[in-house]
A and B are shown apart, each in its own frame.
Chain A
Amino acid sequence: MRDYIYALEAEFILELRQSWKYKTGFFTDLIVQFLIYSALLFAGRYTWMTRQYGGALNESKSLMLLGYVFWSYAILAISQMGNDIRIEANRGTLEQKSLSVVPLSWLFISKAFSGVIVSTVFVSLIIGMSTLFFNVSIKITTGAFCAWAVMLMGMYGFGFIIAGITLVVKKVGQLTFLIQIALLFLTGTFMPLKSFPYVFQLIGKSLPLTLGMEIAKMSIGGTKIIDSERWMMLVFISIIYLVVGLTIFHILECAARQKGLLGKY
């Protein structure tokens, strides 16, 4: 048990040191992301959201900000571990990491925790800038926060599948990018899900991101009582994603050890 805590600490220190090293990258990223966000904010017509969740037009922009925030965390969850594995395999440090006394997946979970904290600084800055420049902000409710935490757990499950594939294939190329874009549309972040074919709607609706965002939007939009079925659905699906993701990761990790691919790039 103690080993797990030390490893978590180690990854946390490493993440902070690296974030600090790449701080200029952090700021350029911040500017780029804020520009993308601004474009989305003005290009889209968000009245459908107001209709769906209630509230005035300015509030619909606030819901849009919320969607953006959820989406940012979700793509982080999906792509971060795969990217890290690719980078570490390329550097040659992945095998040394695998020589840890805790499972490799735990090191990546630890890194994910640290990554979420660094991203929260990032997202807070975006929200701050949005408030400052456009007077569009979000009030964080307990419901929205819980929905965020649960959906993030589920999306990390998704991330573990991609991480596992990366362990074996290494160059997954544009796969994660495609998934990120697909998520943008499939989750009702910027367009109502109803305008898509049924199959896509179904996929979209069974994503933790979609379910979590729904609840968060309702919570922030002022819906007093959110039915417990919705919550159960979110928790249930997120747990399934995480368990399936971890299982697939371990199977693929084992395959990589079988083929002697851990350190190969």
Chain B
Amino acid sequence: MISISHVSKSYKKPLVRALNDVSFSVKRGESVGLLGPNGAGKTTLIKSISGLINFSAGKITIDGIDASSRRGKTLRLLGVVLDGSRNLYWRLTVRQNLVYFGMIRGMSYSQTKSRIPKILDLMQLGEFSNYQVGLLSSGQKQKASIAAALVHNPSFLILDEPTNGLDIPSMDNLSRVLNTLRDEMNIGILISSHNLSFVQQVSQKVVFINKGKIVDILGIDDVKEFELKSKSTEIKTDLLTVYRNLMKGDIR
């Protein structure tokens, strides 16, 4: 389980409270959406979980292991795809990337080799394995990045805004792939996004975040119910404000 408790992070320059007392968890086999507008703190949270950012207060554990003091251990349990499309070496082929990233995450060459066909198959990338990453489409690049994050057989997959730059068919394809991963490999998935409909397709639980604070955490059925309510203008809550902003594609 990824357990995040009372995590805060302030940046000094400029002074921003990017995360303010954030707590929630992600279990294995569960998919959680992290939904919030730009600047909400999604990237900061994801980088804190993966040890790329040292957060200021609180505690993050992965299967009980402390993420800040034992980064080497927790990174073995995580596959992370960061924001933007540059998670891989574009001049290397998909397969070469998978070998490299598997091996810097504790796999031997032969272990990596034997896992690659399965991963490529799951990500529907088999026929592109010997393509240079730079030559793939955005959707394929995203899937290749996910493949590279999965080679070392992590228990959790974390994705930061995976739909950026994807068209609707690629998004649908991505959500199908992610749901398969969750159900067949029992992976816990955390997906940040400001795209409401995508989050609904891939999450069982949605964490709404705005200005570094969690506004609400809802099960997917409640989200759907909520969506109906949001059409009515009488109700006014924090969550609805965030929600309406997202619906409008409004940022900040």
Q: Which residues of A contact B (CB under 8 A)?
A: 2-3, 6-7, 9-11, 13-14, 17-18, 21, 91-93, 95-103, 107, 254, 257-260, 262-263
Contact = CB atoms under 8 A, between A and B. Distances in A.
* Most B C-beta atoms less than 10 A away, residue of A11, A95, A259: A95
Contacts of A3: 72, 106
A6 B106 contact: yes
B89 A7 contact: no
B87 A96 contact: yes
A260 B47 contact: yes
Interface string B69-96: 0001101101010101111111110001
Contacts of A10: 99-100, 103-104
B248 interface: no
A14 B107 CA distance: 15
A17 B51 CA distance: 29
* Most B C-beta atoms less than 10 A away, residue of A21, A97, A98, A101: A101
A6 B82 contact: no
Contacts, number: 93
Majority DSSP secondary structure for residues of A touching B: helix
30 contacts: A6-B106, A6-B108, A6-B109, A7-B104, A10-B100, A13-B99, A13-B103, A14-B89, A21-B91, A92-B82, A92-B84, A92-B86, A92-B87, A93-B86, A93-B89, A99-B50, A99-B51, A99-B78, A99-B105, A257-B51, A257-B52, A258-B53, A258-B54, A259-B11, A260-B11, A260-B47, A260-B52, A260-B53, A262-B53, A263-B52
A101 B72 CA distance: 4
A114 B104 CA distance: 15
Given A9-B109, A99-B75, A102-B72, 16 more contacts: A3-B72, A6-B106, A10-B100, A13-B99, A17-B92, A95-B47, A96-B80, A99-B80, A100-B75, A100-B105, A101-B72, A258-B54, A259-B11, A259-B12, A260-B52, A262-B52
A3 B152 CA distance: 12
Given A91-B86, A92-B84, A96-B87, A260 B107 contact: no
Interface string B38-52: 000000100100111
A260 B44 contact: yes
Contacts of A260: 11, 44, 47, 52-53
Contacts of A259: 11-13
A261 B205 CA distance: 31
Contacts of B73: 101
B131 interface: no
Contacts of B44: 260
B105 A101 contact: yes
Contacts of A101: 72-73, 75-76, 104-106
A6 B104 contact: yes
A7 B107 CA distance: 9
Contacts of B72: 3, 101-103
